[in-house]
Amino acid sequence: MPITTSTTFRSKIGLEIAIPLSVVLVGVMALMVYDNSWPGFFTVLATSAFIIHMFLTTFYRIEGSTLIIKSGFFYNKKLAIGSIKSISSTMNPLSSPATSIDRLEIKYNTYDSVLVSPKEKGKFIEHLQEINPKIELNLNK
């Protein structure tokens, strides 16, 4: 049985997402405490815990010739690195398994794409290109 190596890349946590989100959630919780609205407070607290969990558990793992994209409890995508057509820099704010606006758009298959935000973008791209040298790069300098 062949030994496959696994490399994990953590998602970059962007302050442009974390700070406004924190300010809003803490502000709403403070209002709930001030208003003695404990059910509302605990609802926002649970929502905050879920968001923190998403931020801390978003990663991208390369196992053999497969890219695994994981974010929290619900997002778990596997794609063949050989199916990746291109990687482009983007600041697209669409919902995605990326915890920063400094993102990469990975286009794969014919019409599919996913946005990711690895902390070590250079190493991440380099590792993918070692497996699939046909990946076209469209990166901003």
CATH classification code of 6-12+59-138 = 2.30.29.30
- Model pTM score: 0.87
Count Cα atoms within 13 angstroms, Cβ side, for 42.
Answer: 2
Residue 130's H or E segment, with its range, is helix 121-131
What is the rounded distance in angstroms from the CA atom of residue 117 to the CA atom of residue 14?
A: 9
pLDDT 10s digits, 77-115: 999 999 999 999 998 888 888 889 999 999 999 999 999
pLDDT 10s digits, 26-77: 999 999 999 999 999 999 999 999 999 999 999 999 999 999 999 988 899 9
**Distance in Å from the first CA to the final CA of the chain:** 42
With H, G, I as helix, E, B as strand and everything else as coil, classify residue 111: coil
